[in-house]
Amino acid sequence: MLDTLQQQINDLYYKVKEIKYNDTTSVLRMIAETERLSAQYRNNTELLILQTHLQIMNSQEQKARAIANRVWELGGNISLMFEKMYLDDLINLHMTDMATVLIRPKFENINDGMKVFPLEMIRYALMIGNASLLKRIATTNTSNALLQSLNQFADTYIRTQYSTHFANIQKIIADNFGSLICGYDFNSYTDRGFTDIEIVLYFSNYDFNLKKYKMLIDSKIDGYLLSAGAKRIYNLNFVCKNIKDRK
């Protein structure tokens, strides 16, 4: 049987997972609950992982980064569900170096990794702009519609020798917005007969520069491609949203 503390922490995890991003009252209540328990167990890594996630939901991405770094410093054994939450939020916060260390072993046995961390692995490959890695992920299950669409997308970039541009475009996002975002996600569309990938960047609910960010992204990408002598492929788009709009 689980001891009392671990049961409390697991119960908090399931409560947190049920909260909607736009339910600020519930988010604040859960922050208070986790902080009360964490005051008694200051170095409990799983409690700190919960606090990282809640601070993202609360539009406090810099607090979330500080707590995520504290988790990294402490280390220790954590259960699979907390490992998944932590990796997910390292990607959300665009903390690429730490995410790479955690996710690299999942790619050593990619089929097993995809059984537990499918969306994390896809989001990571998109975040670093690695078309070859995305293709490896996509070919783990050729009957899955999402993976089929990602395979088509990756294959297009590899065949047209656009992979370097894909990586550099994602680096533009990292360099300009990596320290600001509190959510990183994607949508895949196939209604035009080929795959369109939409990268969704989430920012603090108190950040009112979303239109400015979108214009800056497009300007930076266009400038880079012009200097590289390459045409823009309009099947990769970026949108900027507030974290409270996340589903």
Whole-angstrom distance, CA of residue 71 vs CA of residue 192 = 43
Q: Is 94 exposed, middle or buried (0-12, 13-18, 19+ CB in 10 A)?
A: buried
Q: Tens of pLDDT along 166-218?
A: 999 999 999 999 999 999 999 999 999 999 999 999 999 999 999 999 999 99
The domain spans of the chain are: 4-87, 109-245
Q: Tens of pLDDT along 50-85?
A: 999 999 999 999 999 999 999 999 998 999 999 999
pLDDT of residue 3: 82
**Mean pLDDT, the chain, whole residue set:** 96
Q: Which pTM value belongs to this model? A: 0.96
- The sign one gets for the Cα dihedral 118, 120, 125, 127 is positive
CB 134, CB 125: distance < 8 Å: yes
Residue 30 C-alpha from the chain's centroid: 22
pLDDT at 1 over 50: no
Q: Please, which residues have CB within 8 angstroms of residue 117's CB and are 6 or more apart in sequence?
A: 84, 87, 103, 106
User: What would the mean pLDDT of 118-133 be, rounded to a whole number?
Assistant: 98
pLDDT of residue 223: 97
Whole-angstrom distance, CA of residue 20 vs CA of residue 179 = 24
In 111-208 the beta strands, taken as DSSP E runs, fall at: 183-189, 196-203
Whole-angstrom distance, CA of residue 195 vs CA of residue 236 = 9
Q: Tens of pLDDT along 144-170?
A: 999 999 999 999 999 999 999 999 999
From the CB of residue 129, how many other CB atoms can be counted at a distance below 10 Å? Answer: 22
Share of the chain above pLDDT 70, in %: 99
